[in-house]
Structure 1
Amino acid sequence: MNFDHLQDHPHKRQNILTGDWVLVSPHRTKRPWQGKVEKLAEDQRPSHDPNCYLCAGNTRAGGKVMPEYTGTYVFTNDFSALLNDTPDFQGDDELFSFESESGECRVVCFHPNHALTLPEMEIFNVEEVVRTWQDQYAELGARPEIGHVMIFENKGATMGCSNPHPHGQIWSQKRMPQEVQKKHDRQQAYFDKHGRTMLSDYISRELADGTRVLEENDHFVSLVPFWALWPYEVMIIPKRAMAHIGMMTEEEVSAYAAILHQTTVILDNLFETSFPYSSGIHQAPTDGAENAHWHWHMSFYPPLLRSATVKKFMVGYEMFANPQRDITAEQAAAKLKSLPKVHYKSLSKVGE
């Protein structure tokens, strides 16, 4: 296959997991990281904020008091988007279709220290977060009324995060969301045709090429996907085909925590700021089936494009026609791979 034209000419790339396409226009700005790189003033936060509703011992927005937790802490969201007691109803009108959706939303506090983020936490703390995700997936997924568990994090005010305390969310619901359904169907079709998971074959090709690979250890790969939509989009994929995170061994948990930590460090180092993103883990539905076609993975969608203050907007053509990006996945990967592996705050302390 000839990839020679991809760095110079407009073209479309297909997301193999969803079937969606992205328009790539590399001629518009081939080296987007040149020129002035603006930095935000450093966000100095205390380890405990008396006004934060997620800090230990404080009162949450819903009126309940947070315990004096010392590790991860999970609670049901006081303002959940999904509720367990939603009645069943639907409308099958050809023009006005609707159906009820029930479930439960939870908040996962990663750490009691208000000033930290994932890349600034110790590896053993990140491992605790991963094990908490595993426990929550197993607990919620065991409920007969729950068909899917979505684990995600919105980091930074740019991504709409209303509280800087290190935390993520888990939304569990009756049915698979539409983005997951697309991946479910396409992975099933590939598995039926080849007898292997789609991502097993994909990462084999990526590792052989190496251009878009950011980090690799014995069990995981971190890379900029070929079909990346966001400027510095990243995926973490296990080398062993696993339907969900509950299938990881202890060794794989440690390897996942390590590459998760390293990936977020690199993102922070890009513009030397706490890099905003939305991240999410896509994994098999909790329907009791084997789901051997599923190969779970984690994606990061960061909006920043040229500096800590310049973001990529999905507007105009992107909203009404087709998602589009200027820099190629290969250019983004090259920039990310060139960055230090140690967090910029730690480097600045060494230089003092």
Structure 2
Amino acid sequence: MPNTPSPTNPIATSAKLADGREIWFFDEEPTLRSVHDERPLEPRAGGSQLRWDRLTATWTAVAGHRQTRTFKPPSDECPLCPSTDGRLTEIPAESYDVVSFENRFPSLSTASVMAATGEPFVSRPGYGRCEVVCFTSDHEQSFVDLPPERVRTVIAALAHRTEQLSAMPDIAYVFCFENRGEEIGVTLQHPHGQIYAMPVLPPRIESLVNAADAHREATGECLQCEVLADEVADGSRVVAENASFVAYVPYAGRWPYEIRVVPRRHVGSLPGLTSDEMGDLAALYQECLQRMDGLDDAGPVPYIAGWQQAPTGREDTWHLAAEIFTIRRAPGRLKYLAGIESGVAFWINDIPPETAAERLRAVRV
């Protein structure tokens, strides 16, 4: 029996684009989907490679084919808008609610065929998957302005894709994220995010894993649960909360304004949330974005938002969190990474986290 559609339980329909890439439609209402991509596309690119840096013990992706990706097209040439009779886009449909599809210019791909190499210069194929998630068919909207039911649909879509991508062979981590604003480096203005299914743990996640494992080994408890309890008890950095989630500025936050959104219940990833928790997350997450935008009158803030989900196989020991931060430290002033930060990753924050939290709480939403 087909599921009853709703923002937290949308109907998911899969199809293929002209070059074989997969596309998923997430519809809030019953919609008859008959998808035909009529574009004469070249075979999809897949020439990326992972190279091992012996000095830092980390992987770097090399993907030369991405130099030809779409760069700041005018709105009437946006590849993420619905297709029309006169112009075919990446979305072969006249309208949609939420869509996720394989990136045409991926950093990682199941089609990567480069051979692995051994010592002294170690490499492996850039295996994985990169997807683009379109939050709405409306080119002029922003995530912060979406109707609440659409925010829930987006989160449900991310949960769906996380569950499926995590089940792919040799995937170690699935990272869902959104970039907003040209200052961040956004080259497509249509409201969208991305998902990377990766064959290795990215360095920051590996660092979080190591800290969590060390704490669990020493105490038998979840580090994130403990930090959340301490932040709630202290209260000075809590920005907002509801029945299921708490949003706070981290005690050692690196960015001028940085918010961490954490579930009260110990749950590893988006697919593990209940329907009520998903609704609470949608409400609090959107409120955090509204508070960011309300900090000053300089217009929408540029931000990066990412979901720190459980690495593959670690659902029981991981604690989900969303991280939102902006590089704007004041109207007309951005935080550029200085030499000490870019060079050796020693962070210096110009705004005390307690001050940031106070200013965020003061925003009327």
TM-score (structure 1 length as normaliser): 0.77
Cα pair 2:267 2:315 within 8 Å, conserved: no
Q: Report the more deviating stretch, 200-209 or 266-275.
A: 266-275
Aligned-pair CA distance for 1:70: 2.5
Cα distance in 1 for residues equivalent to 2:283 and 2:181: 22
Aligned to 2:263: 238
Aligned-pair CA distance for 1:91: 4.2
Aligned-pair CA distance for 1:58: 5.6
Which of 311, 320, 325 does residue 301 from structure 1 map onto? 325
* Post-superposition CA distance 1:118-148 (Å, at most 9, x none): 1111111100000000000011111123221
Cα distance in 1 for residues equivalent to 2:215 and 2:174: 23
Cα pair 2:98 2:135 within 8 Å, conserved: yes
Cα pair 2:81 2:91 within 8 Å, conserved: no
Q: Residues 95-244 of structure 1: matches in 2 within 5 Å? A: 96-244=121-269
Match of 1:230, SS state, is: coil
Opposite residue 133 of structure 1, the aligned amino acid is: L
* Post-superposition CA distance 1:194-240 (Å, at most 9, x none): 22211111011111111000010011011110111010011111111
Cα distance in 2 for residues equivalent to 1:68 and 1:176: 38
Aligned-pair CA distance for 1:319: 2.3
Cα distance in 1 for residues equivalent to 2:107 and 2:336: 25
Aligned to 1:83: 109
Identity %: 27
Which of 337, 340, 354 does residue 317 from structure 1 map onto? 340
C-alpha RMSD of the superposition = 2.1
Cα distance in 1 for residues equivalent to 2:303 and 2:248: 16
Cα pair 2:134 2:193 within 8 Å, conserved: yes
Opposite residue 316 of structure 2, the aligned amino acid is: A
Aligned to 1:280: 306
**Shift in alpha-carbon separation, 1:62–1:285, aligned structure 2, 3 A:** farther
Cα pair 2:80 2:91 within 8 Å, conserved: no
Aligned-pair CA distance for 1:296: 1.2
Match of 1:139, SS state, is: helix
Cα pair 1:200 1:241 within 8 Å, conserved: yes
Cα pair 1:154 1:278 within 8 Å, conserved: yes
Match of 1:150, SS state, is: strand
* Post-superposition CA distance 1:54-75 (Å, at most 9, x none): 111169x996454223310111
Match of 1:158, SS state, is: coil
Aligned-pair CA distance for 1:117: 1.1
Q: Residues 20-99 of structure 1: matches in 2 within 5 Å? A: 49-57=75-83, 64-87=90-113, 89-93=115-119, 96-99=121-124
Aligned-pair CA distance for 1:115: 1.4
Cα distance in 1 for residues equivalent to 2:150 and 2:239: 23
TM-score (structure 2 length as normaliser): 0.75
Match of 1:271, SS state, is: coil
**Shift in alpha-carbon separation, 1:58–1:164, aligned structure 2, 3 A:** farther
Cα distance in 2 for residues equivalent to 1:175 and 1:326: 33
Greater relative CO, 1 or 2 (CA 8 Å, sep 6+) = 1
1:331 correspondence with 2:319: no
Q: Report the more deviating stretch, 322-331 or 230-239.
A: 322-331
Opposite residue 57 of structure 1, the aligned amino acid is: S
Aligned to 2:282: 257
Opposite residue 93 of structure 2, the aligned amino acid is: P
Corresponding pairs, count: 289
Match of 2:256, SS state, is: coil
**Shift in alpha-carbon separation, 1:192–1:291, aligned structure 2, 3 A:** farther
Opposite residue 164 of structure 1, the aligned amino acid is: Q
Cα distance in 1 for residues equivalent to 2:113 and 2:256: 41
Cα pair 1:188 1:294 within 8 Å, conserved: no
Cα distance in 1 for residues equivalent to 2:161 and 2:294: 31
Cα distance in 1 for residues equivalent to 2:124 and 2:83: 40
Cα distance in 1 for residues equivalent to 2:117 and 2:77: 44
Aligned-pair CA distance for 1:92: 4.7
Gaps of 5+ in 1: 1-47, 342-352
Match of 1:157, SS state, is: coil
Cα distance in 2 for residues equivalent to 1:226 and 1:332: 11
Aligned to 2:9: none
Cα pair 2:269 2:315 within 8 Å, conserved: no
Cα pair 1:219 1:256 within 8 Å, conserved: yes
Cα pair 1:62 1:78 within 8 Å, conserved: no
Cα pair 1:152 1:279 within 8 Å, conserved: yes
**Shift in alpha-carbon separation, 1:293–1:65, aligned structure 2, 3 A:** closer
Cα pair 1:73 1:108 within 8 Å, conserved: yes
Cα pair 2:80 2:89 within 8 Å, conserved: no
Cα distance in 1 for residues equivalent to 2:347 and 2:84: 42
Cα pair 1:243 1:296 within 8 Å, conserved: yes
